[in-house]
Amino acid sequence: MNRKIFCLALCAFLFALGVSAQAQQPAKVPRIGYLTNESLSALSARTEAFRKALRELGYLEGKNIVIEWRDAEGKLDRQNELAVELVRLRVDVIVTAGGQATRSAKEATMTIPIVMTQERDPVSSGFIASLARPGGNITGLSRLAPELSGKQLELLKEIIPRLFRVAVLGSLTQSSRTRTQTLKEIEAAAGALGVKLQYLDVQSLKDIEAAFRAARKSQADAVLWLVSGPIGGTHRPRIGELAVQSRLPAIYEQAEYVEAGGLMSYGVSFTDLDRRAATYVDKILKGAKPADLPVEQPKKFEFIINLKAAKQIGLAIPPNVLARADRVIR
């Protein structure tokens, strides 16, 4: 009897030790991968918005969450390697800043959740089945807003009342639903404003320089910049220089072009998209499946003007246009 009591007591003691040890084990710290084709320094406003949103949700980087930051600095092969590296690290979620980064992550894993921050048209790109029901392991934010190009053309008309010819620079040979919708929107706006369009295809830096020369030669009054992907992202300062040298007012979709010396931008707020991406990360870490999280579209837009660039090309921005800007760089 004493032996039985002793054995039961010993078992209870060992069990208590096990429970105590288990209770003392630190909880697993979530690991997030952030992948971009651009340099992180160029995306500092976006990444800070992402960090801030995570903090507001209770995640403190280096304490109860780890973020593996990876940038390919415009090198696609390097980006593919970085995506594979994040998979090897067994991150819990991969956040992607751009379509190229999303594709690299998609090719690297079919199981780790992927949160897009700014894919233009994730359905046409083959990343998701639909906005409402993504399916698979990818969800996040879309920046699908083809109507922006029409608004950009209207803004050019406001600052150049005698606007007659606009050079449209873009990767025009890349066929997609988004590209088709965008061109239709531009043409409708051009017809309403009495503006003629000159389409110039851009696939490389050499094409960018040739396109600005062609626009100048044809006496274009302004440039509408539609180039997407790493081509534009890695050459923003040079693009701004070419616009100034050609004395051509240019409007872009992303604020980074204006910050790098471009004249003005009107488009989706990318910092807002990064901020909202943190909500997706939070839901996934709490057990939600990407396939069940609808992809959301843009809610916030921003208009930015660079007065220094305007002065360099001898352009006066009307006061009523300046008053509508969300930010003015002087």
Interval 284-305: pLDDT, tens: 999 999 999 999 999 999 999 9
Tens digit of pLDDT at every position of the chain (330 positions): 556 555 555 555 556 555 544 545 557 899 999 999 888 888 899 999 999 999 999 999 989 999 999 999 878 789 999 999 999 999 999 999 988 899 999 999 999 999 999 888 899 889 999 999 999 999 999 987 777 888 999 999 999 999 999 999 987 665 566 677 788 889 999 999 999 999 998 888 889 999 999 999 999 999 999 887 667 667 888 999 999 999 999 999 988 899 999 999 999 999 999 999 999 999 999 999 999 999 999 999 999 999 999 999 999 999 999 999 999 999
Q: Would you state the pLDDT for residue 96?
A: 97
* Angle, helices 44-56/270-285, rounded to nearest 10 degrees: 40
Q: Which regions of the chain carry the CATH code 3.40.50.2300? A: 31-143+270-299, 148-268+302-329
What gap in Å lies between CA 303 and CA 269, rounded to an integer? 9
Q: Would you state the pLDDT for residue 140?
A: 97
The CATH T-level fold of domain 31-143+270-299 is: Rossmann fold (3.40.50)
Q: Which position has the token pair 């949700």? A: 57
What gap in Å lies between CA 89 and CA 96, rounded to an integer? 16
What gap in Å lies between CA 227 and CA 111, rounded to an integer? 32
Q: Would you state the pLDDT for residue 288?
A: 97
Class of domain 148-268+302-329 (CATH, top level): alpha beta
What gap in Å lies between CA 232 and CA 167, rounded to an integer? 16
Is the separation of the CB atoms in 269 and 301 below 8 Å? yes
Phi, psi for residue 251 in degrees, rounded to 5: -120, 140
What gap in Å lies between CA 79 and CA 83, rounded to an integer? 6
Q: Would you state the pLDDT for residue 14?
A: 55
Q: Would you state the pLDDT for residue 200?
A: 92
Cα angle vertex 296, ends 292, 63, to 5°?
75
Phi-psi region of 57 (alpha: psi -120 to 50; beta: other; left: phi over 0): alpha
Q: Residue 255, exposed/middle/buried by CB under 10 A (0-12, 13-18, 19+)?
A: buried
Residues 6+ apart with CB under 8 A from 246: 212, 213, 215, 216
Tell me the one-letter amino acid at 226: L
Q: Would you state the pLDDT for residue 21?
A: 47
User: Among positive and negative, which fits the CA dihedral 168, 174, 178, 183?
Assistant: positive
